[in-house]
Structure 1
Amino acid sequence: MMKRILTGILLLSVALLVLGACSNDSSKGNTEKENKGDLVATVDGEGISKQQYEKELEVMKATYEQQGMPADQMDKKQKEELEKSVLEQMINAELLLQIAEKDGISIEDKEVDAELEKIKANFEDEKQFEEALKKNEMTEKELKSQLKKQLTVNKYLDSKIGKIEATDEEIKVNYDQYKEIVKGQEQEPEELEKVKAQLEQQIIAEKENEKISKLVEKLRKENEDKIKIIEA
């Protein structure tokens, strides 16, 4: 699901991102007046650093390139939209983290350690894990800090969204759509029972993302006066 923590190398590449991630610890405590040239935005006085923003932008560009949309082939408008999207995601992530903490959401060290072990399990050994960290210019301590933030936001979102389920009718509708697509590709569709779990997760993820989007939109409207974008 979109809000769940990504594992393995992918997480190490996007741990700096939102639904992915929150602003860098080094920016904490910065206000709009302090080091203004080093900030791209503040959320209730907490700074989002230019360095962190540029890192996240590069990660997003790499993601687009993997999808066959390299940044160097984007026109000016597309690049501006991408840059704006990354900044908005960072602002939303910082806002969610602050609200979650004010709401009393807390994460124990053992929860962070459990998530870290899941990530390490995707690597052959400790050395490969450490090499991945080095490649992404992160320390294990920084990764754990990001994991704690993401877990905090996840727990807050879970408390607000509640349990989401997919009905049999919704699964059937999605299965019928799947069959049409597969038949259009002149292939034989799988039986419903073989793809039911996948279709169910897809429906739940879509519902979850829709609720999260509405919640974030509501929170942004309620806290817009606390958000300041700093022009270069």
Structure 2
Amino acid sequence: MKVPETALPDERPNTGARPVDYDAELRLHNRAFRHACAILARERVLDIGCGAGQTTRDAARAASAGSAMGIDTSSSMIARARELAAAEDVRNVRFELGDAQTHSFPPQGFDVAISRFGTMFFADPIAAFRNIRGALADDGRLIMMVWQALEANEWSLAIQGDRPQSSAAFSLADPSLAKKILDAAGFADATFQDVHEPVYYGDSVEAALAWIGQFQATREALRSLDAAAVERERTRLREAVAQHHRDDGVWFDSRAWIISARCR
């Protein structure tokens, strides 16, 4: 079995372990998110940061007389999303490569914009949400899932350890700041639903370590260390993962917001 280049040094994934992907990691979150979106049959849906398109396909199925479009900055994710939609025979869906902050959407071309952890990384969030607002009908709505504060997310604390914590993933964690951004972009009446569900990292310690090894933060941290420090970090991560391994896999606690707002 070929070991991915992104795997942790000297960690060899167990050939009996099922691989993890982002949809598997967020399987409990997705249930809450799909319910909150409450897509109607005739709605036109825009999915921001769609990844491999699970949320887009879910939206397309709900919008049985409407449509769904997913957008993502990753060409490999868009290719995978198209493959999965074709394999599942979801026909009222399409995917485009682009950045929602600057993409030329059709004015008022959508009724609802959704995003599952895809809106925290905009270079200019007000500009990005203003562009999304312009793509929505006057009575349109926005529903997005974002991480709550770093200290409420065990997965980040455990993986990062004593290293400086990246703040980008938590840029919309503060409700007061998120409301100000949305208000400046043309949205109103923002509400915040607490989602307290664990994230899934695999059915074994080996599968979890392989998954963690693909995180950008992990790769960058390991590249900055010498050989001895890499070995210490590998040991620390293994111990942290082992502490969270139970009969049904490896789980880390997490907290997220589902933010809902309307156009004004």
Task: State the TM bucket, normalised to the shorter chain.
Answer: under 0.3
TM-score w.r.t. the length of structure 1 is 0.27
In proportion to residue count, which structure has more strand? 2
Higher relative contact order (CA 8 A, sep 6+): 1
TM-score w.r.t. the length of structure 2 is 0.25
In proportion to residue count, which structure has more helix? 1
